[in-house]
């Protein structure tokens, strides 16, 4: 009679095989979202032309290249002509500097000769002055001859002093002129060094070890300065480029932990960049795969990612199911024996696998997690 009474109190029944169940459990919950994307090279530099001219591409798409290996050569007749002209200018100015040094030495020698002659004349005038002094004391010469000897001495002293000053001034002047010529030579040598650097850059070298991605110009094409030639893909480091739904864009932050699933292997990573624009209702983000791994990665390989937005500790939660959307997160059915009773719940954060329950349940309760629309919102439902 009691069993019949309980059966009669239930006005709706559902087959158990159509229902999924899960227990309410307590633990740490990770609020996360899923996204998909592809593997991209973390470092894929593009090499550019240094000058205008005709380009010869030496590395083909798919070729393995090493750092500093020549991948393209530019033929620039204009730059080569400028280099030859500059070499000629440097040679001419070098000759001018050497000639200036020889002229300076020649003029210094002539001035030194004049100085030496003036010194000899001064010594001779001093001897004549001493002889005149002795002679005037002995009254051997007249007063006029004595004064003439003194005048010759004074003139010789003046000539020697002027010759000495002129030699010192000429020395500074000649050194100044030689220095000017040397500075002009240095300027032209710097210009020559710059042209030689530009000529060396006509040999385009790979910046990294990797593989040639694709050509951006045709073979033997006429190119302009700073024109992109080819892309080099660095195979030593990869990132994951994923597409995140626009609704989660405001919750993303740099440095968030990400689990990347590549061919069944789970790799750890972090969000390294987030695009500021939305395209096709999605936001592009980059995940830097951290640490070394043994997984073989390839460019444009498809990946699935799990972005961990938040970690909650010691919360009540239940496995995710269709009951959350069909009950709007406020209604659930608690299983007790052969019956399911409708209860009011309050849900919180959601993740890819679990839903946080804030009230209405306790740990160990058994809930229906499948679609509860079949229960027709009845207070109690029999599970047959």
pLDDT in tens, the chain (384 residues): 555 545 444 557 888 778 888 888 888 887 788 888 888 877 888 899 988 889 999 988 888 888 889 999 999 888 888 889 999 999 988 888 888 887 777 777 777 777 777 777 777 777 777 777 777 677 676 777 767 777 777 777 787 777 777 777 777 777 777 888 888 888 889 999 998 998 888 898 988 888 888 888 888 889 888 899 998 888 777 788 888 888 878 878 888 888 888 877 788 888 888 888 888 888 888 888 875 556 666 777 888 888 888 778 888 888 888 888 888 888 888 888 888 888 888 888 877 788 888 888 888 888 888 888 888 888 888 887
Neighbours of 174 (CB within 10 A): 19
Q: Is-contact 290 245, C-beta < 8 A?
A: no
Task: Give the dihedral sign, CA 56/61/63/64.
Answer: positive
Q: pTM for the full model?
A: 0.51
CA gap 368, 15 in Å, rounded: 12
Confirm if 61 and 214 have CB atoms less than 8 A apart.
yes
pLDDT at 73: 92
Comparing C-alpha atoms, which of 252, 259, 208 is closest to residue 44? 208
**What pLDDT shows up at residue 7?**
47
Amino acid 374: pLDDT:
82
Q: Cβ neighbours of residue 381 under 8 Å, at least 6 residues apart?
A: 10, 12, 13, 14, 333, 339, 340, 342, 375
> What is the pLDDT, as a whole number, of residue 146?
67
Q: Which string of b and e fits 146-173 if b means at least 16 CB within 10 Å?
A: beebeebbeebeebbeebeeebeebeee
Work out whether strand 257-262 and strand 302-319 pair parallel, antiparallel, or are unpaired. Answer: antiparallel
Each residue of 23-54: b (16+ CB within 10 Å) or e? Answer: ebbeeebbbbbebebebbbbebeebebbbbbe
Beta strand 380-383 pairing with 13-14: parallel
Per-residue model confidence (pLDDT) at position 249: 80
Per-residue tokens: 237: 């480091």
- What is the structure's pLDDT at 291? 58
Asked whether 347 and 358 are in contact (CB, 8 A), the reply is yes
């Amino acid at each position: 009679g009691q069993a019949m009474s309980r059966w009669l109190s239930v006005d709706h029944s559902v087959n158990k095989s159509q229902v999924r169940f899960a227990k309410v459990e307590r633990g740490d919950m990770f609020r996360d979202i899923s996204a998909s994307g592809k593997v991209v090279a973390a470092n894929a530099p593009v090499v550019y032309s240094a000058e205008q001219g005709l380009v010869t591409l030496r590395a083909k798409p798919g070729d393995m290249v090493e750092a500093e290996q020549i991948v393209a050569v530019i033929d620039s007749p204009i730059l080569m002509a400028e280099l030859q002209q500059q070499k000629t200018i440097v040679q001419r100015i070098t000759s001018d500097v050497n000639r200036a040094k020889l002229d300076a030495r020649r003029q210094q020698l002539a001035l030194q000769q004049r100085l030496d002659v003036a010194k000899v004349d001064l010594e001779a005038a001093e001897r004549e002055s001493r002889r005149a002094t002795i002679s005037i004391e002995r009254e051997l010469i007249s007063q006029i001859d004595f004064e003439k000897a003194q005048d010759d001495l004074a003139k010789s002293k003046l000539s020697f002093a002027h010759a000495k000053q002129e030699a010192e001034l000429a020395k500074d002047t000649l050194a100044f002129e030689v220095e000017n010529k040397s500075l002009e030579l240095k300027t032209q040598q710097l210009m020559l060094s710059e042209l030689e650097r530009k000529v060396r850059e006509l040999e385009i070298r790979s910046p990294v070890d990797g593989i040639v991605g694709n050509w951006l110009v045709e073979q033997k094409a006429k190119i302009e300065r700073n024109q992109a030639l080819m892309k080099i893909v660095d195979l030593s480091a990869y990132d994951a480029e994923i597409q995140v739904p626009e609704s989660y864009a405001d919750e993303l932050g740099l440095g968030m932990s990400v689990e990347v699933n590549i061919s069944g292997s789970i790799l750890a990573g972090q969000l390294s960049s987030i695009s500021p624009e939305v395209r096709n209702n999605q936001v592009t983000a980059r995940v830097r795969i951290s640490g070394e791994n043994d997984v073989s990665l390839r460019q444009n390989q498809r990946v699935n990612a799990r972005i961990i937005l938040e970690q909650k500790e010691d919360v009540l939660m239940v496995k995710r199911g269709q009951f959350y959307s069909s009950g709007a997160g406020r209604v659930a059915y608690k299983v007790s024996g052969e019956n399911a009773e409708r209860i009011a719940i309050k849900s919180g954060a959601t993740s890819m696998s679990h839903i946080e329950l804030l009230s209405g349940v306790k740990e160990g309760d058994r809930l229906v997690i499948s679609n509860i629309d079949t229960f027709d919102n009845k207070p109690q439902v029999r599970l047959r």
